[in-house]
Amino acid sequence: MAEQESKRKLAAAKREAQEKAQEMVKKKAKEATQKVVKKAASKLTLRLVSGAAAASIVGLIISYIIMTIQFFIGNLLESKLVPKLSLVEILIWGCLSLLIFAAIVAVALILQLLADPWQSSIVALNAALDWVKRFWPDF
* pLDDT, tens digit only, all 139 positions of the chain: 677 777 777 777 888 888 888 888 888 888 888 887 777 777 777 777 776 766 677 777 888 898 999 999 988 998 888 888 889 999 999 999 999 999 999 999 888 888 888 887 888 888 888 989 888 887 6
DSSP summary character for residue 122: H
Backbone angles phi, psi at 81, to 5 degrees: -80, -30
Instruction: Give which of 88, 92, 58, 93 is closest to 72, Cα–Cα.
Output: 93
Q: How many CB atoms lie within 10 A of CB 82?
A: 19
In angstroms, the CA 99 to CA 89 distance is: 15
pLDDT for the residue numbered 94: 94
What residue ranges do the domains of the chain occupy?
90-139
pLDDT for the residue numbered 119: 83
pTM score > 0.75 for this model? no
Q: How many CB atoms lie within 10 A of CB 68?
A: 14
